[in-house]
Amino acid sequence: MPKVDILKEIVAKKKERILAAKSLFGEEELKQKVSGLEATRPFIEAIAKPHQISLIAEIKKSSPSEGIIRQDFNHLEIARLYQDAGVQAISVLTEEDYFGGNIFFLSEVKKLVQVPVLRKDFILEPYQVYESRYFGADAILLIEELLTKDKLQELFQLSENLGMDCLVEVADEKGLKKVLNMDLPLIGINNRSLHTLEVDFKTTEKLYTLIPKDKTIVVESGIKSYQDLLFLKILGVNAVLIGTAFMQAQDISSKVQEIMGW
């Protein structure tokens, strides 16, 4: 039997969710609402510190590869623990069907913490960019593989115009080439294949050396130990995005200290 391509499933479901959201809250209405919002917190500035590796700590309840990761999931309690642990930024997974997320988590976390907040989701169109800004995102994730070059450019430009940074995620050399041709400042390397969900740390080894030194680089997926972190630090990576290892830990604060070496 052929393997199920989970990415196709997620994207199909997401398109349904976008239609439902639009029927409740039109794009024009969102555009008006974002015009008077207070300034965003600078995301790139928060994670691009010289001589140190920054942490973007993620809040997520479940994932397609793990199922429910955290039974006693309380996004506000987790956000509070992250803030107290000294993280540089927080990523909030808002995808509903496979990750147990919710767009409202974003605004609730934003009100509670002082650090910048990243919206992590499957962003496909401008509506979601306006939505991200309205619900408090300081930055959004854009997945290169889901978007044509023109669409990626459009969403990046819109995000910039609204005052948000974009973490543009790549998972292979072809995708990286596309992104480097666009001169984007913040690049994420995802060690997990979005199709098979398998993690391969060699993805970072391969792609990191191809990225110009003036880019801010975030590594995502599969980071579980201080050894992993040390390897990335020596490589010269600016930041790591870690979710599952913290969500699985009984004591989140201790796990942050253990992996980051703080």
Angstrom distances, CA of residue 241 to CA of 19, 130, 132, 208, 231: 29, 24, 19, 15, 15
Residue 236 identity: G
| Region class of 186: left (phi > 0), else alpha (psi between -120 and 50), else beta | beta
**Nearest to residue 65, comparing CAs of 167, 173, 176, 191?**
191
Q: Is 58 a catalytic residue?
A: yes
**Nearest to residue 90, comparing CAs of 249, 235, 243?**
243
Q: What is the reported pLDDT for 5?
A: 83
SS3 239: strand
Q: What is the reported pLDDT for 36?
A: 87
CATH class belonging to 6-36+43-260: alpha beta
Catalytic position from the list 125, 131, 144, 169: 169
Residue 6: pLDDT band (50, 70, 90) is: confident
Residue 78 identity: I
Q: What is the reported pLDDT for 193?
A: 83
Whether pLDDT at 172 is above 50: yes
Looking at residue 188, the DSSP 8-state letter turns out to be E
Residue 241 pairs in a beta bridge with 56, 220
In angstroms, rounded to a whole number, what is the distance separating the alpha carbons of residues 135 and 107?
A: 5
Residue 1: pLDDT band (50, 70, 90) is: very low
Domain chopping of the chain, boundaries: 6-36+43-260
Catalytic position from the list 144, 221, 238, 255: 221
Give the mean pLDDT of 44-54: 95
Catalytic position from the list 63, 132, 159, 190: 190
Catalytic position from the list 14, 61, 110, 120: 120
Q: Is 233 a catalytic residue?
A: no
Catalytic position from the list 62, 131, 220, 238: 220
Q: Is 198 a catalytic residue?
A: no
- DSSP-derived pairing of the beta strands 67-68 and 62-63: antiparallel
Catalytic position from the list 60, 61, 110, 255: 60
List CB contacts of 133: < 8 A, sequence separation 6 or more: 34, 37, 40, 162, 163, 164
Phi then psi dihedrals of residue 117, to 5 deg: -120, 130
Q: Of 13-22, 38-47, 60-69, give the lowest mean pLDDT range.
A: 60-69
For 47, half-sphere exposure in the C-beta direction (CA atoms, 13 angstrom radius) is 32
Q: What is the reported pLDDT for 4?
A: 66
Q: What is the reported pLDDT for 252?
A: 97
List CB contacts of 255: < 8 A, sequence separation 6 or more: 245, 246, 249
Q: Is 190 a catalytic residue?
A: yes
Q: What is the reported pLDDT for 3?
A: 52
| E strand residue ranges, the chain | 54-59, 62-63, 67-68, 89-93, 117-120, 139-143, 165-170, 186-190, 216-220, 239-242
CA 115 to chain centre: 15
In degrees to the nearest 10, what's the CA dihedral of 86, 88, 96, 60? -40
Q: Is 169 a catalytic residue?
A: yes
